[in-house]
Structure 1
Amino acid sequence: MGSAGAKAMSALRGEAHAYLHAGGMNEWDTCAPVGVALAAGLYASRIDGSPCAFNQADVKMPDLLICRPELAETLLAAITAERMPGD
């Protein structure tokens, strides 16, 4: 699957627990998936837990997490632990 939107919607449809992208993309690739996910009651943020920000001077979205709300804390903790150097 090549589309970020299609991959993100797999979480919405219950076909995946989460959509995680850490490779960077443009905000127009993530804006609709984030909006639809939030409207459906899913969790969406950057992988550091900060909210996704759109209409910024820099249109790059470095990373994205979309998942069921009950998984967000666990996934963010696992991502943080994986990214910590020396652990």
Structure 2
Amino acid sequence: MRNLVLALGSVLMAAAPALADRPLTEEEKVKLQSAVSAQGCSGGKLEFDDGHYEVDDAKCDDGKTYDLKFDAEFSLIRKKLER
């Protein structure tokens, strides 16, 4: 039983980094910038985190700043106003 618990713990620890922040590929950057533009926004910090694409501090056509979150197909999940 102890070996099973240790093995399961090792598997979980190895899988955790797979969802962590990682740099975007050039192809992902282009697609994410296009998705951001389609929302009427530009700029911001682009990243991949916890299985989603995120853009922090994007400036949008309404003159406000938002944090945007996209799914793996670059569809908007959330648009949160920054204060």
Compare relative contact order (CA 8 Å, sep 6+) and give the higher one, 1 or 2. 1
Q: Which has the higher strand share?
A: 2
> Fold match, TM over 0.5?
no
TM-score under structure 1 length normalisation:
0.26
TM-score under structure 2 length normalisation:
0.26
Structure whose CA Rg is larger: 2
